[in-house]
Amino acid sequence: MAEQKDVLDHGPFFHGTKAALMIGDLLAPQHLSNYQDKKSNYIYFTATLDAAKWGAELAASNSPERIYIVEPTGDFENDPNLTDKRFPGNPTRSYRSKSPLKIIAELGSWERHSNDEIDHMLTSLKALRDQGKAIIID
């Protein structure tokens, strides 16, 4: 792991997605975002399994959901889309980086949110987009 001046979190860290990746692959910024119609300037990750599950379940694809255990290769910061804006502090332990994340393992099994919970979240996100409120600070 890259040396941090002020370590925000020691992990372990997770990235939820529907992309099929291999151990050793690097997840990097400048790929299409799952949540807006543009390339993202950051790669997002979390230190909570629940947030990683949402990332996998809400990713824009029909591919299987996956959660990878990742290692930051550079500095990272609190995700301003969640920290203080939506949740005081950082209870979701959500972060972002302009440096790649190295995949060190794939979580073999995990319990999904219920279909009702996922449908409710998708409906809520669509309502925010329809109202022009689905703004991501990127």
In CATH, 13-130 is 3.20.170.40: yes
Q: Looking at residue 45, what is its pLDDT?
A: 95
The number of beta carbons lying within 10 Å of the beta carbon of residue 8 is: 15
Pairwise CA distance, residues 138 & 67, whole Å: 22
Q: What is the mean pLDDT of each successive set of 10 residues along the chain, which is 138 residues long?
A: 61 93 91 64 92 89 93 91 66 90 95 92 80 65
Return the pLDDT at 2.
47
Domain-by-domain residue ranges, the chain?
A: 13-130
